[in-house]
Amino acid sequence: VHVTLGIALIPVLLAKLWSVVPKLFSWPPVKSVGHALERLSVLLLVGGVLFEFATGVLNVQLDYIFPGSFYPLHFYGAWVFIGAFVVHIAFRIPLTVRMLRSGGLRDELRGQSKTGGTSPSDPTGLVSPRPAVPTMSRRGALGMVGAGSLVLLAVTAGQSIGGWLRPTALLAPRGQDPGPGPNGFQVNKTAASVGIRAVDMGVAWRLVVRGGGRERVLTREEVLALPQHGAALPIACVEGWSTEDQEWSGVRLSDLAALVGFTLRPPGVFVQSAQLSGSFRSTTLRDNQVRDPRSLLALRVNGADLSPDHGFPARIIVPANPGVHNTKWVTRLTFGENV
């Protein structure tokens, strides 16, 4: 909902910015202390909302060209926008009250003064003193913005809704048909796209489990020989898509922690992947996530071995965990260290 709504609101954002462009270039730039604070709030407001939309769209496309991690950048960018929005509204309250007192609310919504014409004064500074002949009505402009939002909604929402609507997600990178079979559900990053080689998934693969000064190195056959458990869990990604529940099977993370001595209260774990490029080559899981009996180092899904694109030989699957933190192609688990 968050991602789909954000994309659908892009035309609304552009229309709003277009409507206030004159205010961004008003002269003189500062008339008083209060005016300076208001201008600063507008700068942070416009900058904050552009930053949020730009980083959000880039994240959906897995294009991490910005420095640092998307999550804290997007999170703190939202606080900058919210703070600037609150300050901006506080500065505009006196003007809003004045405008509403000068004419009825219904008249203001119609854009008219009490006399039925355009107000001779323009306290907002948004009306041109010598306006050109309009080429589009207000309703036409609003209709165009609304139509733009509906089009973006139509070519994005199918990614999350799934089913027969999935092929309509033309602008969504995970909108394509994932194919049939047990591994026939959405893939965020393919093995080829992050540099996973055949040797990384072949007989030479080893799982290294460390913690508490101990270390165990296991082949895939040895991991399969450990007690196997199942869990029905979805994958839900912050990029705006999710899957239905899949039947995963593998070794509980708590059982792997017990291999290196953590039998009573397993600590958190630092998970590392074999991928050579791209983001999220490692992740950290908290102790309560490790202790959840549904948290697995999954080896199979829906009764079949994981496909290479779904993380073969082994991947993490944890309840209520963003998909990007359900690390694929796992090679090392470090319990209690770097956590």
Of 135, 158, 181, the last residue of a domain is 158
Of 158, 181, 203, the last residue of a domain is 158
- The CATH number covering residue 309 comes to 3.90.420.10
Tell me the β-bridge partners of 336.
Answer: none
Specify whether 327 is located in the same domain as 274: yes
Specify whether 129 is located in the same domain as 223: no
Residue 173 lies in a domain: no
Specify whether 145 is located in the same domain as 241: no
pLDDT at position 124: 60
Q: Give tens-digit pLDDT for 186-214.
A: 888 889 888 898 888 999 999 999 998 99
Specify whether 72 is located in the same domain as 218: no
pLDDT at position 118: 44
Specify whether 146 is located in the same domain as 258: no
Residue 331: CA count within 13 A, CB half-sphere: 16
Assess contact for 174 and 188: CB atoms under 8 A. yes
Output the six-digit token pair for 20: 């206030």
More confident site: 13 or 28: 13
Q: Which residues of 168-194 are buried (b: 16+ CB within 10 A; e: fewer)?
A: bbebbebbeebeeebbebbbbbebeeb
Query: In which domain, by residue range, is 39 found?
Result: 2-158
pLDDT at position 114: 43
More confident site: 245 or 101: 245
| Distance from C-alpha of 112 to C-alpha of 63, rounded to nearest angstrom | 46
Residue 110 lies in a domain: yes
The residue behind tokens 């008219």 is 112
Residue 179 lies in a domain: no
pLDDT at position 269: 95
Specify whether 46 is located in the same domain as 97: yes
Continuous segment of H or E residues that includes residue 200? helix 198-201
Specify whether 229 is located in the same domain as 328: yes
Residue 185 lies in a domain: no
Band the pLDDT of 119: cuts 50, 70, 90: very low
pLDDT over 80 (residue 162): no
pLDDT at position 120: 46
Average pLDDT over residues 208-230: 95
| Distance from C-alpha of 236 to C-alpha of 321, rounded to nearest angstrom | 8
pLDDT over 90 (residue 110): no
Specify whether 224 is located in the same domain as 153: no
Closest CA to 58 of 238, 277, 322, 327: 238
pLDDT over 80 (residue 123): no
Residue 175 lies in a domain: no
- The CA dihedral of 72, 75, 80, 81, to the nearest 10 degrees, is 150
| Distance from C-alpha of 197 to C-alpha of 275, rounded to nearest angstrom | 9
More confident site: 259 or 122: 259
pLDDT at position 112: 47
- Total domain count, the chain: 2
Residue 305 lies in a domain: yes
Specify whether 111 is located in the same domain as 243: no
Residue 295 lies in a domain: yes
Specify whether 140 is located in the same domain as 204: no
Residue 285 lies in a domain: yes
| Distance from C-alpha of 240 to C-alpha of 101, rounded to nearest angstrom | 44
Assess contact for 178 and 243: CB atoms under 8 A. no
Mean pLDDT rounded to a whole number for the chain: 85
Average pLDDT over residues 303-328: 93
Specify whether 51 is located in the same domain as 137: yes
Specify whether 154 is located in the same domain as 301: no
pLDDT over 50 (residue 115): no
